[in-house]
């Protein structure tokens, strides 16, 4: 049985912007991926709303992925594949991070994960660039939380792709995934299924 850890933020947690709740097990991309993969795989959810790659949030504690990835992965090892989808929260105006800064944060996570004694064989990491934050988000009800964040989010895919090539890890771009029209930042139910299907296709390679 192959074990896959999915390390991410609210889009991995399954936040539903329409209900301000959480998508159920028939909708979240991690759960859809489990159904696509079948009994030969165990998909492990590790999503936290607000999580960043490495930035400590002065408002909300425990959000830096770099601080948590070691105990997280050690508790789930051994496993075969690590999927990391982060970067949306790094775009928040209060962090003042450039797209390159955010990619460097992702690089730190990748390098730390590679060196940990948690792998069934050679480390296999899939880095996913999250769907960009649409410009409408900056005038939505979460504008006060996110600030000016849209433009840099559209540059993450390029920076992540460069980083992934240098680190010799797999890369996927979630730019085409469907988003909700409430906060223009979180995946819709359709987007969750699209993402699961994209990841499953990559896992079969």
Please report the pLDDT score of residue 55 as a whole number: 98
How does pLDDT run across 54-67, given as a tens digit for each residue? Answer: 999 999 999 999 99
3-state SS class at 157:
helix
Predicted confidence at residue 122, as pLDDT, reads 97
149-168 in b/e form (b: 16+ CB < 10 A) is bbebbbbbbebbbebbeebe
Question: What confidence score (pLDDT) does residue 90 get?
Answer: 98
Model pLDDT, residue 100:
98
State residue 19's pLDDT score: 96
Res 127: pLDDT: 98
Other Cβ atoms closer than 10 A to 108: 14
Tell me the CA distances in angstroms from 150 to 141, 183, 195, one per residue in order: 15, 12, 21
Q: What is the mean pLDDT of the chain?
A: 98
Task: Answer yes or no: are the C-beta atoms of 110 and 167 closer than 8 Å.
Answer: yes
For residue 108, the model assigns a pLDDT of 98
Query: Is-contact 84 126, C-beta < 8 A?
Result: yes
Q: Is the peptide bond before 81 cis (omega within 30 degrees of 0)?
A: no
Residue 101: C-alpha distances to residues 105, 107, 130 (Å): 6, 10, 16
Give the chain's residues under pLDDT 50: none
- Report the candidate in 12, 9, 11, 18 with the shortest Cα–Cα distance to residue 60: 9
What are the phi and psi torsion angles at 81 (to 5°)? -140, 140
Q: Evaluate whether 49 touches 9 at the Cβ level (below 8 Å).
A: yes
- Superfamily for the 2-203 domain: SGNH hydrolase (3.40.50.1110)
DSSP state string for 101-128: HHHHHHHHHHHHHHTSS-BSSS--EEEE
Q: Where are the domains of the chain?
A: 2-203
H runs (alpha helix) in the chain: 10-13, 29-37, 65-76, 99-114, 143-146, 150-153, 156-167, 189-203
């Amino acid at each position: 049985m192959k074990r896959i850890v999915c390390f991410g933020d609210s889009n991995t947690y399954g936040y539903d912007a329409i209900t301000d709740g959480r998508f159920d097990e028939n909708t979240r991309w991690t759960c859809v991926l489990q159904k696509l993969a079948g009994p030969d795989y165990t998909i492990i959810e590790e999503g936290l709303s607000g999580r960043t790659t490495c930035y400590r949030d002065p408002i909300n504690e425990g959000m830096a992925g770099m601080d948590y990835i070691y105990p997280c992965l050690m508790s789930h090892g051994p496993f075969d594949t690590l999927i990391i989808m982060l970067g949306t929260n790094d775009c928040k105006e209060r962090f003042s991070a450039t797209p390159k800064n955010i990619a460097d944060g992702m690089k730190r996570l990748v390098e730390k994960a590679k060196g940990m004694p948690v792998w069934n064989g050679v480390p296999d990491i899939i880095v996913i660039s999250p769907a960009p934050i649409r410009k409408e988000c900056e005038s939505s009800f979460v504008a006060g939380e996110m600030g000016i964040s849209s433009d840099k989010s559209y540059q993450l895919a390029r920076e992540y792709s460069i980083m992934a090539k240098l680190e010799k890890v797999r890369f996927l771009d979630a730019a085409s995934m469907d988003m909700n029209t409430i906060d223009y930042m979180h995946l819709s139910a359709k987007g969750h299924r699209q993402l699961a299907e994209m990841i499953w296709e990559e896992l079969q390679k």
